[in-house]
């Protein structure tokens, strides 16, 4: 009987160990996924593109913004020039290192603003246009047993990993996020952002991609306001150019001259 009991125990132990090993190795580490995403989306070249932002708000109709966006990550610079609507045309936003200015065409003045300032009166903010690595902002969230929170899921017919991250710095909009990334290439397809109180605040859907120099770049995104139902924004990126940008572009003078 003792031998039998010992055998059962041994088999049970083997099963548990096997399951544990399987569960540990079934999923990739969240850190490695985040690093992969960071590498995937970081720009090795300069970029210029057109951005169309359509913002739908409850009882307010749609607001359409069109802008030209220049970005150079080597010195953390970007420039946004508003092309539409008419009342915003010629206005701009210039980020150079730690400085962030808003240019008003009417008064021909530059004003220092914060990263979280609205762009063209929309819900888009200055820091949405920055290149900031996920790994700098988030770390894997763990459950009560200390295991990373990651599971299998499907979006439509696509197999994805669904995983949760928690903020490791304070200066992020949301302290908790859940990502859905493709299993085959870690492309982010969906993300859900939660407040500290656990309320789902925003969902983002990455709808279309284009490949530039072997990197998948999202060119159509849908942001759904989960707090105030009915509010949503669609961002479409077109005319992407990765040619090296002239140094003069990231200057106040360039922005002023464009608006003349």
Interface residue list for other proteins (CB under 8 A): 58, 98-99, 111-114, 116, 167, 170-175, 193, 195-197, 199, 201, 227-228
Instruction: State the nearest-atom distance from the C-beta of 174 to other proteins, in Å.
Output: 6
The C-alpha atoms of residue 187 and residue 162 are separated, in whole angstroms, by: 12
Between 18 and 199, CB nearer to other proteins: 199
**Ranges assigned E (strand) in the chain:** 47-57, 61-72, 77-84, 92-96, 99-104, 109-112, 138-140, 150-155, 158-167, 176-182, 188-194, 200-212, 215-225, 232-241
CB of 114 to other proteins, least distance (A): 7
The answer to whether 30 and 150 are in contact (CB under 8 A) is: yes
Name which of 109 and 247 has its Cβ closer to other proteins: 109
Q: How far apart are CA 168 and CA 177, in angstroms?
A: 12
Shortest distance, position 70 Cβ to other proteins, whole Å: 22
From CA 152, how far away is CA 246, in angstroms rounded? 45
Nearer CB in complex with other proteins: 167/207: 167
CA dihedral 247, 245, 98, 127 (to 10 degrees): 160
The CB-of-196 to other proteins minimum distance in angstroms stands at 6
To the nearest whole angstrom, how small is the minimum distance from the Cβ of residue 211 to other proteins? 33
User: Which is closer to other proteins, CB of 127 or CB of 153?
Assistant: 127
82 versus 193: smaller Cβ distance to other proteins: 193
Tokens representing 187 are: 């492309």
């Amino acid at each position: 009987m003792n031998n039998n009991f010992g055998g059962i125990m041994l088999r049970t132990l083997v099963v548990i160990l096997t399951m544990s090993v399987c569960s540990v190795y079934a999923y990739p580490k969240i850190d490695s996924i985040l690093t992969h995403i960071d590498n995937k989306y970081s720009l090795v070249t300069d970029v210029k593109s057109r951005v169309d932002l359509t913002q739908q708000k409850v009882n307010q109709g749609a607001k359409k913004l069109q802008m030209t966006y220049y970005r150079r990550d080597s010195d953390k610079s970007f420039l946004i020039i508003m092309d539409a609507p008419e009342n915003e045309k010629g206005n701009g936003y210039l980020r150079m290192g730690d400085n962030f200015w808003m240019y008003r065409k009417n008064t021909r003045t530059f004003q220092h603003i914060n990263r979280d300032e609205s762009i063209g009166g929309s819900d888009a903010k200055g820091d949405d246009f920055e290149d900031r690595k996920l790994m700098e902002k988030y770390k894997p969230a763990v459950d009560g047993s200390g295991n990373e929170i990651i599971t299998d899921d499907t979006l439509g017919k696509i197999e994805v990993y669904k995983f949760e991250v928690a903020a490791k710095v304070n200066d992020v909009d949301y302290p908790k996020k859940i990502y859905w990334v493709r299993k085959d290439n870690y492309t982010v397809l969906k993300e859900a952002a939660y407040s500290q109180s656990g309320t789902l605040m925003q969902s983002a859907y990455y709808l279309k991609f284009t490949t530039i120099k072997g990197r998948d770049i999202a060119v159509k995104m849908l942001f759904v306001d989960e707090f105030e139902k009915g509010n949503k924004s669609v961002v479409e990126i077109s005319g992407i150019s990765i040619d090296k940008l002239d140094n003069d572009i990231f200057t106040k003078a360039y922005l002023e001259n464009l608006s003349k």
